[in-house]
Structure 1
């Protein structure tokens, strides 16, 4: 039995839930996939799959086995990519994951020049706030906000991630500008929802971070909708400077202070980070993309990037 091929079939089957899809992916008959999986189960003396006429599901032991073999399969794939691409110019599919608003406002505008420089690289963009497991999700490069991740991932800081209070000039003229953190509780707020929760508004009192509780007018997981609501005078928003640079410049939004920082996290070292696996930097397509993105986005005006 070709155990590596059997493991590859099993991993794809676990993800697709279909013998037919797996067979098509490897350009073999479904019977070949079924036979390899049966041989693997016989070798392990364990049932890995629940089979039915409609779908295939992992058994509990099958799921455990899948989670254990997946990193090894990805490592083999990475090694093959590395050997193939070391001998060639940058080419192939490049997967980039970025926060939706940052991807739209900061990343996407620079990618046309990148594609002109490297026409043999196919860009595969994913916009999500969800923290990715780069290896599991097969992401080459990710851009995320927050604190630096663990040391297993290379993190290049592109900028600070400074949040500012803002509202439309009409809203402030009509309702007045809050002068202290607690006065924010008297104004409707426009709030951002991360994958985990609605982000809090925090201020410091007697060396401790306290949460503000202004009435909520709108909750959204997309920054553009919050910007538009703030421009329409629906309330006060707490947004990253890079996300409202155009509106601040044209005057449709006004930033203001209440005497101290209002934050969404007590962490000091928050920023925008470019993330990648260290080994992948040796692959030409990843190296040129990392270098290009860092050079372009770190050149943007500091007053807008925090």
Structure 2
């Protein structure tokens, strides 16, 4: 049997949870998809899929098997792409995922310059806060904020991602300027909603980091919207410095200095990281993009 084709079919069924959708993607009958996967199960001696008249899903052993198979197929794809490179000019489609606000404000201007230097590379840019798995999601480079990843991903720090507490001069003239952590509970807070939950503010006092009680005036998953509300004197916002530089320089927003630190987490090493798989760094389009973005966006 063609085990490679069977694995490709299995991955598509697992991703789409449908034999018919997988068949449509490959342009073959659904019966062919089912038969190939059944042959693979027979060879392995295990059931990889639970099938009913309405649903299909991986068994527990099927999930474990598929996780390893994905890694193997990803390595095979990388090897084929590497040996398939012709000449010294980087080319092909480069898939990049980045946080929306960072992508719009900083990444896109850098990518415009990158495209001028490497016109044979087609950029496929996805802006999202969602977590990505570089090998599984077919992403070459990801830019994310948070703690440094500890797994097999290479993480190169672009920015310390320090958060600043800011408001408009008009808001502060009307409501006063907070000086302590406790003062913040008397002010209107503009809060960011992450992919899974509302992002809470934390302050550091003599007892350590603690969550601050806040009065929300506006909530959004879009940093630009939060900044727009802050400019309209609607409240105080806590956002990364890299997104506030222009507003602070113009004076539309001013930084509020408290007597104790405030952040969105509980301290520790954090930052904006450029992420990629070491195996893909050998591919010219990935290598030149990584080094270009480090030069253009890195703060060190």
The two structures have a TM-score, normalised by structure 1, of 0.89
Name 1:107's counterpart in structure 2. 107
Paired residue secondary structure (1:85): coil
In structure 2, do the counterparts of structure 1 residues 203 and 86 end up closer, same or farther at CA, with 3 Å as the change threshold?
farther
Query: Aligned partners of 1:124 and 1:14: how far apart in 2?
Result: 24
Name 1:79's counterpart in structure 2. 79
Query: Aligned partners of 1:13 and 1:88: how far apart in 2?
Result: 38
Name 1:250's counterpart in structure 2. 250
Query: Aligned partners of 1:260 and 1:195: how far apart in 2?
Result: 28
Name 1:288's counterpart in structure 2. 288
Name 2:13's counterpart in structure 1. 13
- 1:143 to 2:149 alignment: no
Alpha-carbon distance, 1:9 to partner = 1.6
Alpha-carbon distance, 1:268 to partner = 3.2
- 1:38 to 2:38 alignment: yes
Q: Is the 8 A contact 1:190 1:219 kept in 2?
A: yes
Query: Aligned partners of 2:60 and 2:160: how far apart in 1?
Result: 43
Query: Aligned partners of 1:19 and 1:268: how far apart in 2?
Result: 46
In structure 2, do the counterparts of structure 1 residues 120 and 29 end up closer, same or farther at CA, with 3 Å as the change threshold?
farther
Alpha-carbon distance, 1:71 to partner = 1.6
Number of residue pairs matched?
300
Query: Aligned partners of 2:54 and 2:151: how far apart in 1?
Result: 43
CA deviation string 1:45-99 (max 9, x = no partner): 4443455666644345434432332222222212222222375521112111111
CA deviation string 1:144-186 (max 9, x = no partner): 1122111522111111111111111111111111122211111
Of 286-295 and 27-36, more deviation after overlay is shown by 27-36
Q: Is the 8 A contact 2:166 2:237 kept in 1?
A: yes
Q: Is the 8 A contact 1:147 1:267 kept in 2?
A: no
> Which portions of structure 1, spanning 4 or more consecutive aligned residues, are displaced by more than 6 angstroms?
none
Of 69-78 and 46-55, more deviation after overlay is shown by 46-55
Structure 1 unmatched ranges of 5 or more: none
Of 259-268 and 21-30, more deviation after overlay is shown by 21-30
Query: Aligned partners of 2:87 and 2:33: how far apart in 1?
Result: 33
Of 287-296 and 79-88, more deviation after overlay is shown by 79-88
Query: Aligned partners of 2:120 and 2:55: how far apart in 1?
Result: 38
Of 197-206 and 226-235, more deviation after overlay is shown by 197-206
Query: Aligned partners of 1:148 and 1:177: how far apart in 2?
Result: 34
CA deviation string 1:254-275 (max 9, x = no partner): 1121223211122332211111
Name 1:225's counterpart in structure 2. 225
Name 1:158's counterpart in structure 2. 158
In structure 2, do the counterparts of structure 1 residues 94 and 177 end up closer, same or farther at CA, with 3 Å as the change threshold?
same
Name 1:117's counterpart in structure 2. 117
Q: Is the 8 A contact 1:86 1:283 kept in 2?
A: no
Q: What are the equivalent positions in structure 2 for 1:209-224 lying under 5 Å apart?
A: 209-224=209-224
In structure 2, do the counterparts of structure 1 residues 20 and 205 end up closer, same or farther at CA, with 3 Å as the change threshold?
closer
Paired residue secondary structure (1:293): helix
Name 1:126's counterpart in structure 2. 126
Query: Aligned partners of 2:124 and 2:54: how far apart in 1?
Result: 31
The two structures have a TM-score, normalised by structure 2, of 0.91
Name 2:175's counterpart in structure 1. 175
Query: Aligned partners of 1:39 and 1:281: how far apart in 2?
Result: 36
Name 2:48's counterpart in structure 1. 48
